[in-house]
């Protein structure tokens, strides 16, 4: 994988290495294609004098040769285009895959700050633009540049004095093109940023549309949208204006060049230094030059736009990464699930501790209920147990193994999360439960049975193959929760982290979910962020967390009797009795 600092196209070249053979074959076709132009120029040189001397057989022969050369040229062009497309597309696919792999390991805190719409845009549109530019560069810019050089070389050979006079104009053209190019790149970067912002807003807007409607805030949203698209239009317009200005400026220089050549040529014919045959070859050469010049200039603009996209794409790779696994990670066998937190301190910003000197012991198979007001640090504790974050002080031991000495993947096989809000990817129910892990159908069904989900899944027309729609919108909330429970217990994890849902389901659905949870929890160590009275009553320990410290701990009865913060929380309905709300 490339390092993130390598943002330029030049740095993508090593990615072409695996496709060397195809590239060489494509380049051979390209050379054939370019050299055919020289043969054609030569033919043109012979054709005009033969026409003027009315030598019909010679003319016909020259035309026949021309047809053959054209046929070979077009074949070579096909070979070049099709052979070179593959490597270009492969490189951009590899780039996209590398960036996505990197995105998957971005530190969660940093990831939360990124906009989904913006990221989507970068990985789709920006990546596509990079791919197009790569393809164009390889299959169009390179042969055009070669053609330019070959034809210029031929013209130098024909009449170097005449050609030198046009070549003198070349630095001016190059300077102008690169001047515009830099501006086009900056303007494109601005306009791509605007599109990303637009994509971000669209993401938020689509998610929040029902809310917008509920608040009758459509005019406000429309206004915001209009402002964004207006800024985008202005940014895009600036790019178009630059390109629009570039064409006539560079075109004018080309025309000046052409007329100077004609004037000089007339003078040189007059002085006898140039023949008519030479001039016809020469003028054909000039005509043949126009096309590659136009291609190289246009492609250079697109190249600059692609460079802007590539830069944006590779910025993703600069996001802070999750802590790497230790080099000598301990291999995990089957765990019992003894959890021990010793003096754990953590803050997202180390200067502002969120968890302070946390000491906790949960024996294998026990249930610990975490209660406390929102912002107390309960989810943060979960994030430490999943090693999304690492404690700044203290140790977390699982069966005596320090979490920081384990491979994150191994750890996460043993620690399963049932989040408060279930998120599923679209796909079949079986896929949702497997979630990428290798497991037999029997294991999937067993997990579903534990989660009390097997019965309802079997009763669906397609059973486990029923397709879940985006966000699981075609099953009920309670069913979705049971799928999430099955997903959590599939690998038989030793530690279950359960974030109880706060929104109440109807009594029947609630009972089904509770039964699933009860079965799933049995035989495992469970940490539950609890909101229900039933859950805390049944827990082996209750810990009350406030501002990152434990202010109370014990069993329900003991805590109620003691009359501290826990009883207050119960009385203020932080913990609800769902049967008698
Ligand atoms: P709880 O789950 O008990 O409601 P959290 O663990 O979510 O509490 O939050 C504890 C504190 O940490 C809060 O002050 C919250 O604002 C802060 N916090 C949570 N997540 C982040 C984050 N990713 N970056 C910075 N601060 C965070």
From 349, 375, 549, 550, the mutation candidate for ligand 1 (largest count of ligand atoms within 8 A of CB) is: 375
Residues 272-279, mean pLDDT to the nearest whole number: 80
Q: Using a 6 Å cutoff on CB, does residue 380 contact ligand 1?
A: yes
What kind and span of H or E run contains 534? Answer: helix 533-538
Report the distance separating Cα 478 and Cα 475, nearest Å.
8
pLDDT-wise least confident of 1-10, 168-177, 224-233, 507-516: 1-10
pLDDT-wise least confident of 49-58, 70-79, 362-371: 49-58
Q: How far is CA 210 from CA 197, 200, 376, in A?
A: 21, 17, 31
Chain mean position to CA 50? 61
Token duo for residue 71: 């046929």
User: 354: CA distance to ligand 1 center in Å?
Assistant: 7
Please give the pLDDT value at position 6: 43
Q: For the chain, how are helix, strand and coil distributed in percent, rounded to 5?
A: 65, 10, 20
Contact between residue 358 and residue 345 where contact means Cβ atoms under 8 Å apart: yes
Q: How far is CA 422 from CA 261, 514, 532, in A?
A: 73, 15, 18
Contact between residue 314 and residue 189 where contact means Cβ atoms under 8 Å apart: no
Specify the pTM: 0.74
Model confidence at 3: pLDDT above 50: no
From the alpha carbon of 545, which atom of ligand 1 is closest? 3
Residues 10-14, mean pLDDT to the nearest whole number: 77
Report the distance separating Cα 395 and Cα 350, nearest Å.
16
DSSP assigned state of 10: G
- Categorize the per-residue pLDDT at 579 as very low, low, confident or very high, splitting at 50, 70 and 90: very low
Please give the pLDDT value at position 113: 85
Residue range 56-115, pLDDT digits in tens: 888 899 899 999 999 999 999 999 888 888 888 888 888 889 989 999 989 888 888 888
What kind and span of H or E run contains 241? Answer: helix 218-270
Q: Using a 6 Å cutoff on CB, does residue 110 contact ligand 1?
A: no
User: 217: CA distance to ligand 1 center in Å?
Assistant: 30
Give the side-chain half-sphere CA count within 13 A for 433. 34
- Categorize the per-residue pLDDT at 395 as very low, low, confident or very high, splitting at 50, 70 and 90: very high
Residue nearest to atom 23 of ligand 1 (CA): 109
From the alpha carbon of 377, which atom of ligand 1 is closest? 6
Q: Using a 6 Å cutoff on CB, does residue 299 contact ligand 1?
A: no
Q: Tell me the average pLDDT of the chain.
A: 86
Model confidence at 429: pLDDT above 80: yes
Residues 430-457, mean pLDDT to the nearest whole number: 93
User: Any residues with CB less than 8 A from the CB of 224 and at least 6 apart, and which?
Assistant: 201
Residues 134-143, mean pLDDT to the nearest whole number: 84
Model confidence at 1: pLDDT above 50: no
> Which carries the bigger pLDDT value, residue 317 or residue 368?
368
pLDDT-wise least confident of 25-39, 261-275, 368-382, 565-579: 565-579
Report the DSSP pairing between strands 367-371 and 541-546: parallel
- Categorize the per-residue pLDDT at 484 as very low, low, confident or very high, splitting at 50, 70 and 90: very high
Report the distance separating Cα 99 and Cα 2, nearest Å.
10
Residue nearest to atom 5 of ligand 1 (CA): 377
Give the side-chain half-sphere CA count within 13 A for 352. 4
User: 375: CA distance to ligand 1 center in Å?
Assistant: 6
Please give the pLDDT value at position 259: 82
Report the distance separating Cα 513 and Cα 481, nearest Å.
7
User: 574: CA distance to ligand 1 center in Å?
Assistant: 18
Model confidence at 362: pLDDT above 80: yes
From the alpha carbon of 383, which atom of ligand 1 is closest? 6
User: Any residues with CB less than 8 A from the CB of 461 and at least 6 apart, and which?
Assistant: none
Q: Using a 6 Å cutoff on CB, does residue 296 contact ligand 1?
A: no
Q: Using a 6 Å cutoff on CB, does residue 375 contact ligand 1?
A: yes
Output the CA torsion sign for 158, 161, 164, 165: negative
From 106, 107, 348, 372, the mutation candidate for ligand 1 (largest count of ligand atoms within 8 A of CB) is: 348
Model confidence at 7: pLDDT above 60: no
Residue nearest to atom 11 of ligand 1 (CA): 375
User: 174: CA distance to ligand 1 center in Å?
Assistant: 55
Residue range 529-570, pLDDT digits in tens: 988 888 888 899 999 999 999 998 898 888 888 888 888 888
DSSP assigned state of 3: -
Please give the pLDDT value at position 574: 62
- Categorize the per-residue pLDDT at 322 as very low, low, confident or very high, splitting at 50, 70 and 90: confident
Residue range 498-538, pLDDT digits in tens: 998 877 778 888 889 889 999 999 889 999 998 888 888 88
Report the distance separating Cα 501 and Cα 485, nearest Å.
12
Residues 435-463, mean pLDDT to the nearest whole number: 92
Place of tokens 């096989």: 413
- Categorize the per-residue pLDDT at 195 as very low, low, confident or very high, splitting at 50, 70 and 90: confident
User: 25: CA distance to ligand 1 center in Å?
Assistant: 58
Comparing CA positions, the residue from 3, 54, 198, 173 lying closest to residue 118 is 198
Helices (H) and strands (E) in the chain, counts: 20, 12
Please give the pLDDT value at position 577: 59
Please give the pLDDT value at position 424: 86
Go through 509-537 and write b for each residue having 16 or more CB atoms within 10 A of its CB, e for each that does not: bbebbbebbeebbeebbbbbbbbbbbbbb
User: 547: CA distance to ligand 1 center in Å?
Assistant: 10
Percentage of residues of the chain with pLDDT beyond 90: 29
- Categorize the per-residue pLDDT at 479 as very low, low, confident or very high, splitting at 50, 70 and 90: very high
Percentage of residues of the chain with pLDDT beyond 70: 97
């Amino acid at each position: 994988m490339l390092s993130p600092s390598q943002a330029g196209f030049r740095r993508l070249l090593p990615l072409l290495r695996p496709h060397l053979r195809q590239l060489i074959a494509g380049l051979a076709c390209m050379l054939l294609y370019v050299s055919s132009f020289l043969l054609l120029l030569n033919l043109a040189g012979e054709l005009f004098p033969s026409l003027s001397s009315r030598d019909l057989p010679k003319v016909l022969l020259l035309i026949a040769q021309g047809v053959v050369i054209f046929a070979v040229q077009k074949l070579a062009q096909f070979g070049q285009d099709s052979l070179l497309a593959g490597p270009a597309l492969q490189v951009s696919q590899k780039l996209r895959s590398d960036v996505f792999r990197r995105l998957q390991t971005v530190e969660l805190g940093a990831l939360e700050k990124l906009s989904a719409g913006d990221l989507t845009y970068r990985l789709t549109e920006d990546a596509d633009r990079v791919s197009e530019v790569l393809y164009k560069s390889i299959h169009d810019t390179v042969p055009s540049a070669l053609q330019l050089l070959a034809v210029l070389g031929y013209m130098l050979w024909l009449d170097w004095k005449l050609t030198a006079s046009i070549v003198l104009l070349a630095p001016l053209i190059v300077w102008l093109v690169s001047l515009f190019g830099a501006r086009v790149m900056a303007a494109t970067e601005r306009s791509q940023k605007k599109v990303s912002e637009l994509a971000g807003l669209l993401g938020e807007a689509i998610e929040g549309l029902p809310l917008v409607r509920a608040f009758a805030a459509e005019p406000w949203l429309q206004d915001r949208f209009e402002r964004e698209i207006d800024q985008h239009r202005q940014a895009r317009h600036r790019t178009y204006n630059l390109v629009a200005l570039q064409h006539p400026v560079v075109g004018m220089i080309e025309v000046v060049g052409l007329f100077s050549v004609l004037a000089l040529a007339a003078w040189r014919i007059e002085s006898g230094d140039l023949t008519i045959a030479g001039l016809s070859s020469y003028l054909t050469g000039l005509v043949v030059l126009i096309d590659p010049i136009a291609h190289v200039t246009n492609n250079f603009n697109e190249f600059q736009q692609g460079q802007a996209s590539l830069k944006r794409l590779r910025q993703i790779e600069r996001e802070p990464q999750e802590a790497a696994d230790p080099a000598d990670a301990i291999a995990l066998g089957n765990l019992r699930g003894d959890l021990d937190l010793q003096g754990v301190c953590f803050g997202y910003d180390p200067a502002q501790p969120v968890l302070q000197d946390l000491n906790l012991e949960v024996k294998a198979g026990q249930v610990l209920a975490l209660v406390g007001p929102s912002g107390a640090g309960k989810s943060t504790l979960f994030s430490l147990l999943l090693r999304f974050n690492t404690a700044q002080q203290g140790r977390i031991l699982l069966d005596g193994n320090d979490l920081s000495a384990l491979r994150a993947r191994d750890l996460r096989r043993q620690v399963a999360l049932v989040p408060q809000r279930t998120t599923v990817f679209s796909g079949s129910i079986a896929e949702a439960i497997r979630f990428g892990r290798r497991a037999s159908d029997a294991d999937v069904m067993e997990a579903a049975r534990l989660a009390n989900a097997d019965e309802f899944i079997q009763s669906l027309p397609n059973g486990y193959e029923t397709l879940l729609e985006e966000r699981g919108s075609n099953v009920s909330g309670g069913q979705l929760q049971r799928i999430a429970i099955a997903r959590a217990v599939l690998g038989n994890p030793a530690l279950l982290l359960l974030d109880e849902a706060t929104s109440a389901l109807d009594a029947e659905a609630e009972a089904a979910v509770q039964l699933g949870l009860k079965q799933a929890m049995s035989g495992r160590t469970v940490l539950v962020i609890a909101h229900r009275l039933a859950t805390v009553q049944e827990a082996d320990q209750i810990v009350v967390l406030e501002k990152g410290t434990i202010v109370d701990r014990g069993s329900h009865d003991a805590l109620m009797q003691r009359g501290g913060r826990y009883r207050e929380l119960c009385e203020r309905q932080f913990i609800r009795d769902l049967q008698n709300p």
